[in-house]
């Protein structure tokens, strides 16, 4: 039997839109939020699945996920990444984890 080569873990940049759910920790009056996440996985699909599962465990309500690829793919697309972002991506890879790097709450302009 030939041994299957295990694909190496990579870190993917994901933007997750979440809705409201009791206990989600979002500010009062927010209608949801955008979460910038760095997630490790053998491919982007696995990184998305792991991120959604972890957010659900954290009492959040994921609605939509947009993938921006690995660091290499982002650089090829012309994205700039500062040292902090690179350090968080390295940490996600080292810990085989999902890191929520930024949370941007959404508010309904009509109710403000």
- CA distance linking residue 102 with residue 81, whole number of Å: 14
Q: In this prediction, what percent of the chain has a pLDDT beyond 70?
A: 93
**Beta carbons within 8 Å of 8's beta carbon, 6+ residues apart:** 42
- Which pTM value belongs to this model? 0.89
- Read off the tokens for 80: 């700039």
Residues 11-54: tens digit of each pLDDT: 999 999 999 999 999 999 999 999 999 999 999 999 999 999 99
């Amino acid at each position: 039997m030939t041994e299957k080569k295990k694909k190496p873990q990579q870190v993917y940049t994901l933007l997750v839109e979440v809705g409201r759910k009791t206990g989600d920790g979002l500010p009062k009056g927010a209608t949801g939020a955008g979460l910038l996440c760095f997630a490790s996985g053998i491919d982007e699909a696995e990184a998305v699945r792991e991120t959604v599962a972890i957010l659900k465990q954290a009492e959040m309500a994921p609605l939509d996920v947009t993938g921006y690829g690995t660091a290499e793919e982002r650089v090829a697309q012309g994205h700039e990444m500062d040292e902090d972002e690179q350090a968080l991506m390295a940490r996600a890879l080292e810990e085989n984890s999902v890191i929520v790097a930024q949370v941007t709450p959404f508010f309904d302009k009509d109710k403000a």
